[in-house]
Amino acid sequence: MDHNLKAIVRYDGTDFAGWQIQPDARTVQGEIEGALSRIASQPIRIQGAGRTDAGVHAVGQVFSCHWPKDPDTDRLRRSLSSMLGPEIRVESIEVVPPDFNARFSAISKRYAYAISLTREPDPFSARYAWCVPWKLDIDYLRTLAASLVGTHDFAGFQCSGSDTQTTVRTLYSVEVVPGGIAGPCDARDLYRLELWGDGFLYKMVRNIAGSLVDIARGAVPESRLMEVLNAPGPFHGHTAPAHGLALMEVQY
């Protein structure tokens, strides 16, 4: 009798071609499936909560899978982390009901986009934050971010290449807080844009981050935000780089 497992993982996405398994590319899903298959001595397939793009990180990615034997979850977690580290670390593994699915059981997600307000990249944040050398008004950035809270059709913030059935999403909160994607660190002038919502479209967070920064630095007028929000899509504007983004938490 197999068991349904839920695991929480964190990873540095710098050297991966994203989460989703791809032919001839190194992916997070591929690395985890390979390690689990070796432990189980048979093929294991996993379902992730979200498909992070190439270069995107995760602090709280979730995956589920069917395990073919009675699991010692603590031993399995330690073995898996040892095989995958240091780029991937398994935070926890637990047995869950048979109908749990990491993707389809999720009710909300929280993402963070980190920006560094130093004129030159800081060595302690360069891999995990977008270095924004322009002068930004952080209070203005907070006001702009808060205007996106609510239920909207975010088609204008979606890049092409998605087969999503509906582009309506609800953002419960959009905040700008001090610190990087994993909290405070030694890097200077680090802030993160935190978005909590019931779902996110393809590159939606990066497109929002790029748009907010462009407005806050005076490159485009404030009216641009509502123009994009009311546009049919796909997004036309500044997509912030992948390395500043992290999936922080998936809620069930």
pLDDT in tens, 76-87: 999 999 999 899
Whether the per-residue pLDDT at 184 is higher than 70: the answer is no
129 by Cβ neighbours in 10 Å (0-12 / 13-18 / 19+) ranks as buried
Q: Cα separation of 210 and 130, whole Å?
A: 10
Would you state the pLDDT for residue 186?
58
Whether residue 101 is contained in a domain is answered as no
Q: What is the mean pLDDT of residues 164-185?
A: 88
Q: Can you point out the beta strands (E) in the chain?
A: 3-11, 46-48, 57-67, 88-96, 108-116, 130-131, 150-153, 168-178, 190-197, 245-251
Whether residue 102 is contained in a domain is answered as no
Whether residue 60 is contained in a domain is answered as yes
Residue-wise pLDDT for 186-226, tens only, equals: 566 899 999 999 999 999 999 999 999 999 999 999 999 99
**Shared domain check, 25 and 91:** yes
Type of residue at 123: P
Q: Cα separation of 155 and 220, whole Å?
A: 20
**Shared domain check, 118 and 65:** no
Q: Cα separation of 53 and 242, whole Å?
A: 7
Whether residue 103 is contained in a domain is answered as no
Would you state the pLDDT for residue 165?
87
Whether residue 57 is contained in a domain is answered as yes
Whether the per-residue pLDDT at 178 is higher than 70: the answer is yes
Of 96, 122, 156, which marks where a domain is finished? Answer: 96
Whether residue 17 is contained in a domain is answered as yes
pLDDT averaged over every residue in the chain: 94
**Shared domain check, 239 and 115:** yes
pTM > 0.85: yes
Residues 6+ positions from 69 with CB-CB distance below 8 Å? 2, 3, 40
Q: Return the SS3 of 3.
A: strand
**Shared domain check, 113 and 72:** no
Would you state the pLDDT for residue 185?
59
Of 96, 127, 155, which marks where a domain is finished? Answer: 96
Q: Cα separation of 149 and 169, whole Å?
A: 10
Q: What is the mean pLDDT of residues 53-63?
A: 97
Q: Cα separation of 75 and 190, whole Å?
A: 37
**Would residue 53 show up in a list of annotated catalytic residues for this protein?**
yes
Q: How far is CA 136 from the centre of its chain?
A: 24
Whether residue 31 is contained in a domain is answered as yes
Whether residue 89 is contained in a domain is answered as yes
Q: Return the SS3 of 35.
A: helix
**Shared domain check, 245 and 129:** yes
Of 73, 96, 119, which marks where a domain is finished? Answer: 96
Instruction: Tell me which of 2, 12, 15, 53 is the catalytic residue.
Output: 53
Residue-wise pLDDT for 87-136, tens only, equals: 999 999 999 999 999 999 999 999 999 999 988 888 888 999 999 999 99
Domain residue limits at 162: 108-251
Peptide bond into 234 cis (omega under 30): yes
Residue 157's CATH number: 3.30.70.660
Q: Cα separation of 11 and 85, whole Å?
A: 9
Residue 38's CATH number: 3.30.70.580
At residue 151 the predicted structure's pLDDT band, cuts being 50, 70 and 90, is very high
**Shared domain check, 88 and 135:** no
Residue 114 · residue 60 · CB < 8 Å: no
**Shared domain check, 231 and 152:** yes
| CA-based nearest residue to 55, from 103, 91, 19, 21 | 19
What is each CA distance from 250 to 125, 180, 197, 227, in whole angstroms?
24, 18, 10, 30
